[in-house]
Each structure stands twice: as structure tokens, then as C-alpha cells.
Chain A
Amino acid sequence: MQEATYLILTALAAGSQHGYGIIADVTDISDGRVRLRAGTLYTALDRLKTDRLIAVDREEIADGRLRRYYRLTPDGQQRLAKEAARLHANALAAMRRLQPGLA
């Protein structure tokens, strides 16, 4: 799973969000390291919708413009949990070797 995809799913794990909210949340989650742009975000959202990992939650009109909220599907939650466990196990293995007494 690409990092941008992982971060988008993570942003949606706490609840539904609209596009701009996802961009802001991903910047926050990654400590400013990953700054998603609209083209990247909507290409990823379209793929995630096709793979049924996310779905449209609701639509709103804010300041005369369409705002669409996305949420994780049960498949998306499962996929994210699996990926997070995998990354956690890898990180733990690395930490154990770097600092045997701490991890």
C-alpha cells in the first residue's frame, strides 16, 4: 500500500471527512511531511472507491460549493488494520535490533 493511500485511510479511520479535511488531516498525521494535492487525492479516492475500501458518506453545499464526505467501509477498516499491524511489526523488528534493551 502506498504511503498516500495509507494516510488517507488513516485520516478516515476516526470518521467521515471531505476532501479538504483529508488533505489537512494527512498533513497533520504525517507531521507536515506529506502534503497531498488535489490531483493525487482524487486519483487515490477514486481507486479506493472502486476497490470498495471507502464510500461516499454524504454531500453538503458549503459556500455554494459541493462538499462530499467519505468514510471507511468495513473492508477499508480491515485493510487499514492489516497494513497498520504489518508496519507496526516491521517497525518493532527494526527497533529491537537498533535498541535491544528498549523495544
Chain B
Amino acid sequence: MNDPNPLERRYRRLLAFYPRGFRRENTEEILAVLLSCAEDGQRRPGLAASADLIRGAVRMRLRMAGQPPRVVRLAIRLMYAGVVAQLAALAVYIVTLGRVRSAVSRRYPGLAAAQHALNVNVTIHYIAVPVGLAAWLFLLRALVRGNHRARFGLAVYFAATCLSVLIAIGQESAQLAPADLIAGGAQWLITLAVTVLLFTAASSRYYRPEPRPVIPWRGTFGTM
């Protein structure tokens, strides 16, 4: 079957990356502009136009509620760095697993016991890392949207990170898995910095539990 307007269909696909509320409000208008800018007989969006639409969608999704102060903007940037740090820590863990296994075997002469200890550790890591990353992303999304309760969620997350570092030290990670401990320490530092920044007076004013201005396509700020 012949597609009556392949360019419009392809532009609609690109616009699907935008938040739902924004699409509902603006899709037809943006399409009109995109089609007005198109050349005669054009069937596909150009590379630059596609990149521009995707960049706009990403910006729209990452945009913060209201007018955040500098400390909040810095904290949110650090949280993005924290996502990278967590993925890097997972990569370090996977890459150094063999080395850690050898170190544990040397440390514990009884191989069965060493294997058991390591298997437990591996299982904990494979569960804890994705859960931690998911929680971090959830908090990031809530904080970007101006949710004041998310700050307290972050404080709990920081407490859990402290506990995890203490457990790692208790398990002789400094000797058995130094790279993992350094990666964990970097995450802990980022979480500490974000927590401190988000509990300053300026941040508290921004995250006060009052209704924020309503954006037509997004609804009231401050809701998750």
C-alpha cells in the first residue's frame, strides 16, 4: 500500500521521544512547522533535523521544575555523574572478578569455603548493583521534577551506601578487591556530595513542599 505522507509518519516517530503531555499539546503544531520547512518531494527527515528533534526531546525530559538554584543544578549534574560511576563500578567488578577470586583463594586455603564466600559476594553484587542503580535513577527523576520527599529518599540511600562501604571494608576488600573498593568509594563520595548539596538552605527553599506553577503539558510540579 502506498504511504500518503512518509515524511509526516517519520517525523511523528521522532516526536514520540517527547514527553506525552508535551506531545499532546504540541505535536500537530510542530509537524506543521517541520513540513513547512521540508523540501518538495522530501520523504525522510534530514540527519540534522532528526538529531535536533532527539536533542530537544532529551532536554525536555531532563528539564528541571521551576528555577533551581545553582547548588541544586550542581547536585543533579553530580547525580548524572553518579550513574556513570555506578556503571563504571559494575564494569570494574566484572573485569576484576578473576583477580578477586584468586586473592580470596590465597587468603582462604580451604577452597570450598573460599568459593562459597565468593559466590555469596557475587550474588549480592549482581542483585545490589542493578537495584542500587534503579533506586538512584528513580531518585534522580523525582529530584529533577522537584519532589521534596526524594531528598529524604536520598538520605536513606546515602545511609545504605555508608553501610555497604563499611561491609566491604569488613570483608577485607582493601586487600582482596582494592579496585572494587576504590570504585565503591567514588560512588560514596558522589552520594555524600549530592546529599550535602541537597540539604543546604538554598536547596531546602527550592524543595519546599508547596504547590509549584502548573505547566500545561506536565501538570503540577512536585508530584512524582
A contacts, CB < 8 Å to B: 19-20, 23, 37-43, 46-47, 49-51, 62, 65-68
Contacts and interface: CB of A to CB of B under 8 A. Distances in A.
Interface residues of B, number: 28
Contacts of B213: 50
Interface string B22-40: 1000101111111111000
Contacts of B30: 19, 38, 42
Given A38-B37, A38-B52, A43 B60 contact: yes
Interface centre among A19, A38, A51 (most CB of B within 10 A): A38
Contacts of A62: 32
A66 B59 contact: no
Interface string B170-207: 00000000000000000000000000000000000000
Nearest to B54: A39
A66 B60 CA distance: 22
A39 B215 contact: no
Interface string B54-75: 1111011001000100000000
B53 interface: yes
B63 A47 contact: yes
B1 interface: no
Contacts of B32: 19-20, 62, 65-67
B49 A38 contact: yes
A65 B26 contact: no
Given A23-B37, A47-B63, A37 B29 contact: no
A51 B64 CA distance: 12
